[in-house]
Amino acid sequence: MPAEKTLLQKIREKELELSMRLDLARRTADETVRTGRGEAAQMVQAAEREAAQEGETVFRKEMEGVQKEIDEMREAGKGETDRLRHRGEGNLDKAVERIVHDVTLE
C-alpha cells in the first residue's frame, strides 16, 4: 500500500511545481523582451533609412527649386545687362561728343 504523503511533502511538491512554472514564465518573458528589443532595433533602423531617403528627396526637390530660381535670376540679369548695354551704346555717341567738347574747351 503506497504511503500517504505528508502535508509538508505535498507543500514542497507544490512549491517545486510553482517554481518550475515561474522559471518557465521568466524564460518566456525574457525571450519575449529580447525578441521585442531586436524587432524595435530593426524598426528604428528602417525608420532611420526611410527618413534619410525622404530627407534626400526633399533636399533634391528644394535644390531643383533653388537652381530654377538662380537660372531665372541669371536670365533676368542677362536681359537687364543687354538692355543697359543697348542703352549705353545708344548714349555712346553723345558721351564721346561731350568728352571731346569738354576737353577741347580747356
Residue 4: DSSP 8-state: P
pLDDT of residue 2: 58
pLDDT of residue 106: 59
Given a cut of 70, the residues of the chain with pLDDT beneath it are: 1-2, 106
Q: Using CA atoms, how far apart are residues 64 and 79, in angstroms rounded to an integer? A: 22
Counts for the chain of helices (H) and strands (E), in that order: 1, 0
Per DSSP, the three-state class of 58 is helix
pLDDT of residue 88: 82
Q: Which residues contact 101 (CB under 8 A, 6 or more apart)?
A: none
Residue (of 34, 100, 82, 54) closest to 42 by Cα position = 34
